[in-house]
Amino acid sequence: MKEQLLDTLKQYFGYHSFRPLQEEIITSILKKNDTLVLMPTGGGKSICYQIPALIMEGTAVIVSPLISLMKDQVENLRANGIAAQALNSSNDETTNANLRLQCLQGKVKLLYISPERLLSELPFLLKDIKISLFAIDEAHCISQWGHDFRPEYTQLNILRKHFPDIPIVALTATADKITRLDILEQLNMRSPQIFISSFDRPNLSLAVKRGLRQDEKLHAILHFIARHEKECGIIYCMSRSTSEKLTNILQKHGIKAAAYHAGLQGKEREKAQEDFINDRIQVVCATVAFGMGIDKSNVRWVIHYNLPKSIESFYQEIGRAGRDGLPGETLLFYSLSDIILLTKFAAQSKQQQLNMEKLYRMQQYAEANICRRRILMNYFGETMEEDCHNCDVCKNPPERFDGTVTVQKALSAIARTNEQIGVHTLINILRGTAEQEVIRNGFDKLKTYGVGRDIPVYDWKVYLLQMLNLGYFEIAYNENNRLKITDSGRKVLFGQARAMLVVVKHSQEQYNASRKPQVKVTKSPADSSVFPKQTEENDALFEKLRALRKELADRQRIPPYIVLSDKCLHLIATSKPETIEEFEKISGIGEYKKEKYGKDFIELIRKFNKH
Ligand code: ADP
Ligand code: ZN
């Protein structure tokens, strides 16, 4: 049995071993158990139902919520020589008629279908064909508790009744306990086998930058992108206008970028998405609307231009990087103004308390001075025994100092203005800036005016963020964002308690903020310690391989990552196969791809080696 599974894995997908839980899940499905699979994005869920579909007799029916997701899956399978089809409203009637015929003839191993279509086909097609299994992808859509609730999904509860003997497999990357139970109940799963894999994505590095000004942020982003020359990434922005402004600026710096948000025409959005998938643009500046429909495996980095509203959203969004298992770099920008705005949104939302709490947890993550991955995993109910060594806190542990005097200066300035000022004015008072509002209100006569002149503006911002998170003052969001000292703040102010602050570290990027970024920096720093390169890879060869992949992709009108994943391409670049036997050994090369692409790649490598 084990042999057969491994053979199927190698033959069709070109992989040599299963990832954790995959084999157990496949075995459970083959035993016709109803099965619930929880795995993080990029964890390898698809193979869990695709291998049973290939081994079992009949057609596997896969319910998927989005046409773009279906398209991606079907392209991927067909690129491995597997008979997969999608039945949905984007096909014309002739295509669908043909497709039905193929299903009836038993020629389709995997049939992707939208939930509406599934219901309408129940009395027809689905009655007439032999079904091996049902897979419900993105199964959290069935639950009102999940974040992508889709009413059509709730009608899937009739499957169990109509098909008592066919196993149902539900798969999702995001489901808390309530959602999980909801999925089981709503699908009427019987004695379900539940598999929950670790949600850790060790290949994603984590970093946070606090309190940067707009121009500093921009500088940091240009610097970051320069390190990721030719590597695709997403920048998530809070507002549509930011995503557009940022896109313009990037374009002016010669970076191929596009904006993506709900305010754009459907066509424009589609184009941005297609261009990104097909490596025609490098960067998408998007609002949260982007990503649900794409399975692009070679997104190499994700930046959050603003703080996300919850850890769930954050984790899902960074999860779009590094799905192929290669390093993905992530960076989160975090500022006081984000908090002020997001708190306002949360306060005005329906589930006010819940949303405030979620935002607070997100804020704690951003302010963390312990391993960030431990915080994330802990949030999702997993505990890590050790630090991750792939987040900025681990790599650069914070140093603390006794910041009592600093805190007292700030709090005293707040007190002396009768708690009427916001952060901006507070910093101006501390720094002794002759700004209009300061002068007009006579704040320049205060005893605290200028007492914090020795501390740069940026450092003050970071200290104030720390003070906010330590609970020394609050921001009255409903009163013009004025600052109010809390009880614990008062204790520090009156010398009854000491305050420990984290030393502000200045990266080179901040000092250079006014200068133009140097564009050529060393390649992605992403963790040679975690992912050591086995053999030195030749950059020139890699670029040639990449170009060949693009050519092959364009010829077939499919995205490059579907021809071969980035990981596979790197493996070819390091192992430099010169024969078909060597080529076949590479992870990710199944029989179909060996036949289809082997010759072209080998020829390129032979030529390259001769030079
Ligand atoms: P998910 O649906 O969970 O987000 P996918 O099924 O798309 O993830 O898998 C993510 C990536 O991992 C794909 O490129 C897939 O081919 C690859 N993958 C899955 N299983 C294995 C395996 N056993 N060995 C190597 N790569 C794998
Ligand atoms: Zn860490």
Ligand 1 mutation target, pool 323, 565, 566, most atoms within 8 A of CB: 323
Of 9 and 122, the one with more pLDDT: 9
Residue 191 and residue 294 share a domain = no
pLDDT of res. 288: 74
pLDDT of res. 595: 96
Query: Helix 46-55 to helix 67-78 angle, to the nearest 10 degrees?
Result: 50
pLDDT of res. 147: 65
The domain that contains 570 carries what CATH number?
A: 1.10.150.80
Nearest to 112 by CA among 139, 159, 152, 72: 72
Residue 143 and residue 76 share a domain = yes
Among all bound ligands, the one having the nearest atom to the CA of 326 is: 1
Domains held by the chain: number? 4
Domain final position from 331, 357, 391: 391
Q: What pLDDT digit, counting tens, does each position of 367-406 carry?
A: 888 899 988 988 877 877 788 999 999 999 888 899 999 9
Look at residue 35 and tell me if it is in a domain: yes
Q: In whole angstroms, what is the distance from residue 138 CA to residue 175 CA? A: 10
pLDDT of res. 521: 32
Residue 145 has pLDDT above 90, yes or no: no
What mean pLDDT do residues 467-480 have? 82
Look at residue 528 and tell me if it is in a domain: no
Residue 126 and residue 59 share a domain = yes
Residue 369 and residue 229 share a domain = yes
Q: Which amino acid is at 596?
A: K
Confidence of residue 417 (pLDDT cuts 50, 70, 90): very high
Residue 557 and residue 497 share a domain = no
What atom of ligand 1 comes closest to residue 16's alpha carbon? 24
Q: How far is the CA of 205 from the centre of ligand 2 (A)?
A: 9
Going by DSSP bridges, is the β-strand pair 473-476/482-485 parallel, antiparallel, or unpaired?
antiparallel
Q: What pLDDT digit, counting tens, does each position of 580-589 carry?
A: 999 999 999 9
pLDDT of res. 95: 87
Q: How far is the CA of 530 from the centre of ligand 1 (A)?
A: 19
Look at residue 104 and tell me if it is in a domain: yes
Confidence of residue 514 (pLDDT cuts 50, 70, 90): very low
Look at residue 368 and tell me if it is in a domain: yes
Nearest CA to ligand 1 atom 25: 15
pLDDT of res. 144: 75
Please report, rounded to a whole number, the percentage of residues in the chain having pLDDT higher than 70.
94
pTM here?
0.78
Residue span of the structural domain in which 445 resides? 400-502
Look at residue 491 and tell me if it is in a domain: yes
What atom of ligand 1 comes closest to residue 565's alpha carbon? 14
What mean pLDDT do residues 456-463 have? 90
Residue 208 and residue 192 share a domain = no
Ligand 1 mutation target, pool 2, 47, 73, most atoms within 8 A of CB: 47
Residues whose beta carbons lie less than 5 angstroms from ion ligand 2: 371, 373, 387-388, 391, 394
Please state which of the ranges 276-280, 287-291, 507-511 shows the lowest mean pLDDT.
507-511
Residue 176 has pLDDT above 80, yes or no: no
Residue 186 and residue 299 share a domain = no
Q: How far is the CA of 225 from the centre of ligand 2 (A)?
A: 23
What mean pLDDT do residues 26-34 have? 97
pLDDT of res. 146: 62
Measured CA angle at 177 (ends 175, 180), to 5 deg: 55
Determine the number of helices (DSSP H) and then strands (DSSP E) in the chain.
Answer: 29, 18
Confidence of residue 152 (pLDDT cuts 50, 70, 90): confident
Please state which of the ranges 46-50, 468-472, 605-609 shows the lowest mean pLDDT.
468-472
Residue 520 has pLDDT above 90, yes or no: no
The neighbouring-strand residues paired with 484 are 474
Domain final position from 457, 487, 502: 502
pLDDT of res. 350: 81
Q: How far is the CA of 201 from the centre of ligand 1 (A)?
A: 13
Confidence of residue 236 (pLDDT cuts 50, 70, 90): very high
Nearest to 171 by CA among 321, 61, 46, 75: 46
Q: What pLDDT digit, counting tens, does each position of 322-339 carry?
A: 988 899 999 999 998 899
Confidence of residue 46 (pLDDT cuts 50, 70, 90): very high
The domain that contains 418 carries what CATH number?
A: 1.10.10.10
Give 39: exposed, middle or buried? Use CB within 10 Å, 0-12, 13-18, 19+.
Answer: buried
Residue 414 and residue 381 share a domain = no
Q: How far is the CA of 422 from the centre of ligand 2 (A)?
A: 34
Provide the phi-psi class of 558: left if phi over 0, else alpha when psi is between -120 and 50, else beta. Answer: beta
Contact 293, 270 (CB under 8 A): no
Domain final position from 502, 526, 547: 502
Provide the phi-psi class of 108: left if phi over 0, else alpha when psi is between -120 and 50, else beta. Answer: beta
Look at residue 262 and tell me if it is in a domain: yes
Residue 518 has pLDDT above 90, yes or no: no
The domain that contains 306 carries what CATH number?
A: 3.40.50.300
Residue 349 and residue 323 share a domain = yes
Residue 177 has pLDDT above 80, yes or no: no
Over the Cα atoms of the chain, what is R_g?
27
Of 298 and 52, the one with more pLDDT: 52
DSSP string, 125-166: HHHHS-EEEEEETTGGGG-TTSSS--HHHHGGGGHHHH-TTS
Please state which of the ranges 21-25, 80-84, 263-267, 348-352 shows the lowest mean pLDDT.
348-352
Helix (H, G, I), strand (E, B) or coil at 304: strand
pLDDT of res. 526: 39
Look at residue 418 and tell me if it is in a domain: yes
Confidence of residue 1 (pLDDT cuts 50, 70, 90): confident
Please report, rounded to a whole number, the percentage of residues in the chain having pLDDT higher than 90.
63
Q: How far is the CA of 48 from the centre of ligand 1 (A)?
A: 9
- List pocket residues of ligand 1, CB cut-off 6 Å: 15, 18-19, 22, 39, 41-47, 295, 297, 323-325, 565
Q: In whole angstroms, what is the distance from residue 11 CA to residue 145 CA? A: 40
Q: How far is the CA of 200 from the centre of ligand 1 (A)?
A: 15
Contact 304, 432 (CB under 8 A): no
Look at residue 238 and tell me if it is in a domain: yes
pLDDT of res. 365: 93
Measured CA angle at 493 (ends 489, 499), to 5 deg: 65
Among all bound ligands, the one having the nearest atom to the CA of 377 is: 2
What mean pLDDT do residues 541-549 have? 94
Q: What pLDDT digit, counting tens, does each position of 528-540 carry?
A: 334 444 456 778 8
What atom of ligand 1 comes closest to residue 137's alpha carbon? 2
404-439 burial string, b = 16+ CB within 10 Å, else e? bebbbbbbbbbbbbeeebbbebbbbbbbbbebeebe
Phi then psi dihedrals of residue 574, to 5 deg: -85, -35
pLDDT of res. 597: 96
Please state which of the ranges 232-246, 344-358, 511-525 shows the lowest mean pLDDT.
511-525
Residue 487 and residue 368 share a domain = no
Residue 366 and residue 231 share a domain = yes
Residue 242 and residue 141 share a domain = no
Q: In whole angstroms, what is the distance from residue 45 CA to residue 55 CA? A: 17
